[in-house]
Structure 1
Amino acid sequence: MIETSSNATATPGYTLWQLVRYMLALGTWGFGGPVALVGYMYRDLVEKRVWISESDYKEGMALAQLMPGPLAAQLAIYLGYVHYRVVGGTLVGIAFVLPSFLMVVAIGAAYTAFGGIAWMQAVFYGVGAAVIGIIAMSAYKLTTKNIGKDRLLWAIFAVSAGVTVITRSEVIWVFLGAGALVWLLRAPPRWLSRGQVNDFAAPLLAFFAMDPLDWHKLGQIGAYFAYAGSFVFGSGLAIVPFLYGGVVQDYHWLNDRQFVDAVAVAMITPGPVVITTGFIGFLVSGFWGAVVAAAATFIPCYLFTILPAPYFKKHGKRPGIVAFVDGVTAAAIGAISGAVIVIGQRSITDLATAALALVTVAVLWRFKKLPEPVVVAVAALAGLLLYPLAHP
């Protein structure tokens, strides 16, 4: 008999392979970023097909917000887990990520082979500027949705954004410190006054789960991307400033132009934004570099979903955990906003690219339902036209 959650029926109204095929299709055509992808899942699986109950979907969303990892990928894994447990979560996760991985490998091969040709440089000249506008709008949406008028979260946001701009990288201690601060101020654990440690367990476990000391055995690429993948909270865009600090500044695997191009590739392909790590891995070490980088990025997200899933129904709504997540989310959004400035300094090189970035923001502001791939495609055409004029 299939084990089910408390809110699910004993016999699901779909097979595992039906869900796998759906996630494979969503990973192939699912443009629009994490918010759009989780919206598609709700519309198709909860409302239309009624495969997943409302309560199971909400629990999956809460877990995806709580644990580090790209939001849409973690929700997909959790929905696979609901009725088909570990096998379901594993197959669904692979199906969701595989199409975009194959796409970025193909683009990486073309980029490596033809990167020196003017037309490809021209395409990324326009796309790179548009990406800055897209990230800026995403940061705005995340800020208004998650921070609102909360003064404490705004202070954390400002500090995290400032640290990102100054250091040109993501400082993990800011994330963890923000989570701990909000947790202690808004939902102080009972052990502080009564010697109990139950409410302390989740943040403590989250801290040790992120310890990268043993990851060096996997090799330099595997270790770094596994470490990076363990600190993506809520939106895949949160990994952008973190990757910039390591890939460009610390390891010097890519230059500034290549990094912006990698972010652009993630924007023009469907599926999770975090798949940009596969493109980066390909540029660093070919196909197997892409495999190791992508696998190392998504394995932590997979484990952070599968392992706590059986216990989340009982403990996920505790005030201490909710407060910790609020603090981490505010810090992550601040880092994304700071990354707009850091990356923008590399992509906005002249009046044409500045105009493209501003027009992107204006268009996305005016036409809120306009698919981002359409914006990127137009920016690519603009790049083909403007690049020869800017670089005669």
Structure 2
Amino acid sequence: TKGVALAAAAVAVPFSLTTLFLFFLKVGAVLFGSGYVLLAFLRTDLVDRLRWLTEAQLLDAVAVGQITPGPVFTTATFIGYLLGGFRGAVVATLGIFLPSFFFVSISGPLIPHLRRSPLAGAFLDGVNVGAWSLMAAVTLFLARAAVIDFTTLLLAISSAVVLIRYRVNSAWLVLGGGMIGLVMTLWR
């Protein structure tokens, strides 16, 4: 019985454009802070719960998001395209961006007033800490999936050094990492 329950849990949830839209609408509505918090939601729901993506596909989506304008949110567009073609891309993009437009329009004038309140300011600071924690956790999960051998470990360390020391645009790091991966594949 335990094996049957585990097998049932491993089955992917059927894909639908409506579910895709509602998922990205939810993410867009609760996302706070950096777009990198998005990665926690993507991994938890699309990889673990719904099983629509693999870890490798999520990493590909993040890489594509890094080389396009609006880095992380365009990851949603790519995921939508991956899952549902052009219609999936449109649905995912609308879902992720609609809440932002709505919340900014109603809360934009209120935030400066909230920040002046000690209680509300402390709450917003706490939300920021939570967002940073989510980003750190997702970074560790993705690193475990991406760093699989000595070459990828060396590439990750050298990319971090170049990014921090020289502040190189991450698109160049993604492109360079892709080229190194291609050379290593051809060499093997």
Name the TM-score, length of structure 1 as normaliser: 0.42
Kindly indicate whether residue 159 of structure 2 is the aligned counterpart of residue 372 of structure 1: no
Kindly indicate whether residue 119 of structure 2 is the aligned counterpart of residue 320 of structure 1: yes
What do the CA deviations read for 1:179-236 (whole angstroms, capped 9, x no partner)?
Answer: xxxxxxxxxxxxxxxxxxxxxxxxxxxxxxxxxxxxxxx8211111111112322211
> What pairs up with 1:216-365 in 2 under 5 angstroms?
219-312=18-111, 314-365=113-164
Displacement after TM superposition at 1:350 (Å): 1.2
* Aligned partner of residue 168 in structure 2, secondary structure: coil
What do the CA deviations read for 1:352-385 (whole angstroms, capped 9, x no partner)?
Answer: 1111111111112221x32221222221211111
What do the CA deviations read for 1:295-340 (whole angstroms, capped 9, x no partner)?
Answer: 1111111111001234445444222221111111111111111112
- Matching residue's letter, 1:246: D
What do the CA deviations read for 1:270-300 (whole angstroms, capped 9, x no partner)?
Answer: 2242210010011111111111111111111
- Matching residue's letter, 2:49: D
Q: Distance in 2 between matches of 1:308 and 1:287?
A: 32
Gaps of 5+ in 2: 1-16
Q: Distance in 2 between matches of 1:264 and 1:361?
A: 15
Provide the alpha-carbon RMSD of the alignment.
Answer: 1.7
1:315 and 1:334, CA in 2 relative to 1: closer, same or farther beyond 3 A? closer
Displacement after TM superposition at 1:342 (Å): 0.7
More divergent stretch after superposition (308-317 vs 376-385): 308-317
What do the CA deviations read for 1:227-247 (whole angstroms, capped 9, x no partner)?
Answer: 111232221111111111111
- Matching residue's letter, 2:161: A
Q: Distance in 2 between matches of 1:246 and 1:340?
A: 16
**Percent of aligned pairs with the same residue?**
33
1:363 and 1:288, CA in 2 relative to 1: closer, same or farther beyond 3 A? same
1:353 and 1:308, CA in 2 relative to 1: closer, same or farther beyond 3 A? same
1:259 and 1:317, CA in 2 relative to 1: closer, same or farther beyond 3 A? same
Q: Distance in 2 between matches of 1:339 and 1:352?
A: 22
Q: Aligned to 2:180, which of 373, 382, 386?
A: 382
Displacement after TM superposition at 1:344 (Å): 1.3
* Aligned partner of residue 230 in structure 1, secondary structure: helix
8 Å CA contact 1:231–1:239 kept in 2: the answer is no
8 Å CA contact 1:279–1:290 kept in 2: the answer is yes
1:360 and 1:275, CA in 2 relative to 1: closer, same or farther beyond 3 A? same
> What pairs up with 1:29-108 in 2 under 5 angstroms?
none
Aligned residue pair count: 172
Equivalence for 1:175: none
Which protein has the larger Cα radius of gyration, Structure 1 or Structure 2?
A: 1
* Aligned partner of residue 30 in structure 2, secondary structure: coil
Where relative contact order (Cα < 8 A, 6+ residues apart) is larger, the structure is 1
Q: Distance in 2 between matches of 1:322 and 1:315?
A: 6
Name the TM-score, length of structure 2 as normaliser: 0.85
Q: Distance in 1 between matches of 2:99 and 2:79?
A: 18
Gaps of 5+ in 1: 1-217
8 Å CA contact 2:114–2:121 kept in 1: the answer is no
* Aligned partner of residue 306 in structure 1, secondary structure: helix
Q: Distance in 1 between matches of 2:34 and 2:45?
A: 19
Equivalence for 2:5: none
